[in-house]
């Protein structure tokens, strides 16, 4: 399977946070068995797939930007999401990716009056799916966000969340998966993010993020397996539908 990584971080963002998004997700998926071939698209630099069929599925990364910002690439991404969705391609969104998937497909995302969510936080799984194996009634993941999905698209199903971030994880059928958390973050990446944002985030939030990051383990490998299971299951459904259409045609 060819998985396109739509990198929503600029080179300057990566320099500030001392990470390369593509490398982060390469390492994230390396935690579990898969047969994906990952391809990076630097969408903030105007590099988008030439057509939906360049990859079997697409993953949209996090970003310091919001869906409401006026950057040209955000408007382009909004159109690409709707086109890819209409073409039947599978889409996964992480943090900003989660927010813009909801926004582009009929929901809403905006800056939350609750402020920043930062550091590890527990989400409760309220609706389990067959691909969510191994099972995890509650999961602990890193968060780093001020924006939230405030309303889900039509036909979306809420799978997990918590009091601070109710719409923490959703799907639309077997085609779209959005996750507010950062399961791709290592502890070092989370610490660097806390340090980079310490001048703009309330001290109490920073202090809590520092202490909880040092104390808690996160369930990144399980989420990596879930995402792989979701993508594989989605592609099997696409293949089965294609074969059915072929039989009907004959």
3-state secondary structure of 212: helix
Tell me what pLDDT residue 239 has.
59
Q: Say how far apart CA 178 and CA 227 lie, in whole Å.
A: 10
pLDDT at residue 245 above 80? no
> Token digits for 75?
């408007």
3-state secondary structure of 70: coil
Q: Which residues lie closer than 8 Å to 200 by C-beta, 6 or more apart?
A: none
pLDDT at residue 241 above 60? no
Strands 176-179, 108-111: pairing kind: unpaired
> Token digits for 115?
């402020």
Q: Say how far apart CA 247 and CA 250 lie, in whole Å.
A: 5
**Rg of the chain on CA atoms, in Å:** 17
Q: How would residue 62 be classed by pLDDT, with cut points 50, 70 and 90?
A: very high
pLDDT at residue 249 above 80? no
* Surface-to-core class of residue 242, CB atoms within 10 Å of its CB (0-12 exposed, 13-18 middle, 19+ buried): exposed
Q: Look up tokens 């391809």; give the residue.
A: 39
pLDDT at residue 43 above 50? yes
Output the average pLDDT for the chain. Answer: 94
Q: Say how far apart CA 51 and CA 130 lie, in whole Å.
A: 31
Quick: pLDDT tens for 130-187.
999 999 999 999 999 999 999 999 999 999 999 999 999 999 999 999 999 999 999 9
pLDDT at residue 246 above 90? no
pLDDT at residue 41 above 50? yes
Q: Which residues lie closer than 8 Å to 214 by C-beta, 6 or more apart?
A: none
The distance between the two most distant Cα atoms of the chain, rounded to a whole number of Å, is 66
Q: pTM here?
A: 0.94
> Token digits for 235?
């592609």
Tell me what pLDDT residue 46 has.
96
Shortest CA distance to 8 belongs to which of 196, 182, 198, 199? Answer: 182
Which residues, in sequence order, are bridge partners of residue 3?
A: 38, 57
CA angle 140, 78, 34 (to 5 degrees): 45
């Amino acid at each position: 399977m060819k998985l396109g990584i739509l990198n929503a971080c600029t080179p300057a963002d990566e320099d500030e946070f001392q990470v390369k998004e593509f490398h982060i997700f390469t390492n994230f998926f390396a935690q579990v068995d898969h047969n994906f071939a990952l391809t990076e698209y630097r969408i903030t630099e105007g590099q988008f797939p030439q057509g939906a069929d360049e990859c079997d599925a697409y993953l949209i990364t996090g970003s310091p930007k919001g869906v409401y910002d006026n950057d040209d690439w955000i408007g382009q991404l909004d159109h690409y999401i709707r086109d890819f969705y209409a073409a039947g391609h599978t889409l996964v969104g992480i943090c900003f990716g989660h927010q813009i998937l909801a926004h582009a497909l009929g929901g809403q995302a905006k800056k939350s009056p609750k402020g920043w969510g930062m550091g590890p936080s527990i989400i409760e799984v309220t609706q389990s799916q067959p691909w969510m194996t191994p099972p995890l009634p509650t999961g602990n993941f890193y968060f780093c966000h001020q924006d939230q999905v405030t309303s889900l698209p039509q036909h979306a199903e809420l799978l997990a969340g918590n009091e601070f971030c109710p719409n923490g994880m959703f799907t639309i059928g077997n085609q779209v998966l959005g996750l507010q958390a950062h399961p791709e973050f290592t502890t070092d990446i989370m610490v660097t993010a806390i340090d980079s944002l310490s001048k703009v985030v309330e001290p109490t939030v920073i202090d809590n993020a520092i202490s909880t990051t040092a104390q808690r383990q996160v369930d990144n490998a399980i989420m990596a397996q879930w995402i792989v299971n979701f993508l594989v299951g989605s592609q099997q459904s696409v293949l089965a539908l294609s074969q059915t259409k072929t039989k009907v045609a004959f």
